[in-house]
Structure 1
């Protein structure tokens, strides 16, 4: 099979020239007990992929990248009674083990065993199965490695969906929808009549806009430096949209003395600091983006005890994928989540490095890749 493999970090821009992702022919692995072999139909390029390429998220190398995808089950390993060949699945980038402290608390997105496997490049039920033709190990990316013809994943890394859900749509529900909508509904628990501001209008931020707009009576403000993304946010349900310099005025106009919830989907400590200043008393800042590990917050500590403000971390939207993906897909079916608006285009995997440039430049929201010729 063909797989896009990263061998070194920090490649120079443009990536179309340095070509950090190399398309390699490697053996198709077989699923072990508790695992599935999935034929990847569509794989999305996400900032989490870019963060590995540029070194912001250090992962073991070499690594086969890609974590947001949809596909068809091609083979089922022993001990998986509830999935069959031909099932359509959405990939999930944190496999919940079901019996760790986080899973017992109903928070599988924070699964301890899943996080350990993701960090080491392994799978939930065992070490990495990807190998070069010479037998050398290739690490898995977030338990998926979706920029490949096939992926072996833990059963817990896949959610079965109806076969009439288009692959282009299904793929975006495994990361962008879980993270963005989940940040609003699970982490912040936005309720009717509240005001929400979203900073950063990539796919995750726009999903947050859509999710907030589903709550009756909410006022949604969207912030991004690019006018085209501001316009897209309006189509996704934002009442007002503008550039970062407009944020304070927009909050004053639409939310009075401050917003109830701020969603930070940029991955910037400086943006997080500005978000805190836009909150009303008792408001919540939800950190969704992934800042570089070197970034540090510097805020007035009194805002928390003195004004009751809250800082909430949200990983994968605090999602329970088996519950949330079907629920969000039903919202899409009902016409409440216009996810199609986020699909910029679909390209062949051979253009993956050019896709990294387009994502880094903000020229795409969700570019999907197809592996079949």
Structure 2
């Protein structure tokens, strides 16, 4: 029998999220029905609202979340009803070239992330007001129930708090891995993080955990700079320009071995200033999302080449969701990773728009929707 759920739906670019009643089909082969517990309010969903990430509309928002498995379709083996799960907006089939070579964050199933039909068989299984509705990244966690592919859920231990489980499904993993895996931070490195939101604050944690000598957090919002110091930053600055005036003396002229660019919206004119902070033979990792239609990036190619620097992109921190989500939760359990402290405010589903106002105004590290 189909499931009825309240969900936050985006009907048009620039509009507020609207709470609608949606209908979900019963799970079929490869599908999992999850009763949501928490959904993280990630800036990536804001990109759908602004149009920086063009999506088919209407769409149920949310790609970061946790919950309890309600039912499974035929052939599902990795989870069972009653299991606690984290969402994984990066699916992993385990069979494609990328999964079979240890790069599950590039799974070929990701090509279906913004299809309206189910990842499992392409059918239209979600409806609102009699018409098909998409889900952000095939998740749609801004809903009381989510019908998703088995490839997009990761079972977690039942004693772990589901609010922190929601966070590791995107922001924590992406930020942490940006510093540790993609940037390759080593003990003694100087690391700068530009943009201290839900991703950047965890890049700070990742750099600290990897043994960085100095972790430099850059953000115009004083609250976020203060929080960065609590999460492992050694120095903070309000702008890249302010950092550029201090970092040469701070690092004895070396500059930063690793720089993570995690602004809420990345634009091409941010690349050159970030590269100026980057040391010779250093690495700049661009983690934050840019508007999809922007194609220009400004940089001095002569200095880029002669200083032997590199620029890297990353998705999910270039890590494997099925390994990294349990790993991060294990670090949390052992007191090596701050997750409870990331949650600034909790909102009922009806207050989702206020939650995003608070995010835009720099009041939250991470807001979460509480379905419990």
Are 1:92 and 2:91 matched, yes or no? no
Distance in structure 1 (CA, Å) of the matches to 2:271 and 2:339? 26
Q: CA deviation at 1:30?
A: 1.5
Give runs of aligned pairs for residues 150-229 of structure 1, distance below 5 A. Answer: 150-229=145-224
Are 1:276 and 2:272 matched, yes or no? no
Distance in structure 2 (CA, Å) of the matches to 1:122 and 1:112? 16
Q: Mean alpha-carbon deviation: is it higher for 290-299 or for 29-38?
A: 290-299
Matched position secondary structure for 2:13: coil
Distance in structure 1 (CA, Å) of the matches to 2:355 and 2:268? 26
Matched position secondary structure for 2:199: helix
Gaps of 5+ in 1: 12-19
Quote the residue 2:235 is aligned against.
240
Q: CA deviation at 1:316?
A: 1.4
Distance in structure 1 (CA, Å) of the matches to 2:338 and 2:249? 27
Distance in structure 1 (CA, Å) of the matches to 2:333 and 2:371? 27
- Report the count of equivalent residues: 362
Are 1:303 and 2:303 matched, yes or no? yes
Q: CA deviation at 1:365?
A: 1.5
Quote the residue 2:343 is aligned against.
343
Check the 8 A contact 1:67/1:142 in 2, yes or no: yes
**CA-to-partner distance for each residue in 1:203-239, whole Å, 9 max, x for gaps?**
1000000011001253211000011111100000011
Matched position secondary structure for 1:338: coil
Matched position secondary structure for 2:24: coil
Distance in structure 1 (CA, Å) of the matches to 2:247 and 2:92? 38
Distance in structure 1 (CA, Å) of the matches to 2:339 and 2:345? 13
Question: 1:351 and 1:217, CA in 2 relative to 1: closer, same or farther beyond 3 A?
Answer: closer
Distance in structure 2 (CA, Å) of the matches to 1:34 and 1:106? 22
**CA-to-partner distance for each residue in 1:56-108, whole Å, 9 max, x for gaps?**
10011111111100100000111112311111111011112223332233222
Quote the residue 2:10 is aligned against.
6
Quote the residue 2:362 is aligned against.
362
TM-score when normalising by structure 2 = 0.94
Quote the residue 1:326 is aligned against.
326
Check the 8 A contact 2:125/2:132 in 1, yes or no: yes
Gaps of 5+ in 2: none
Give runs of aligned pairs for residues 51-130 of structure 1, distance below 5 A. Answer: 51-114=47-110, 116-127=111-122, 128-130=124-126
Quote the residue 2:260 is aligned against.
263
Check the 8 A contact 1:94/1:143 in 2, yes or no: no
Distance in structure 2 (CA, Å) of the matches to 1:195 and 1:123? 44
Q: Mean alpha-carbon deviation: is it higher for 248-257 or for 177-186?
A: 248-257
Distance in structure 2 (CA, Å) of the matches to 1:111 and 1:362? 33
TM-score when normalising by structure 1 = 0.93
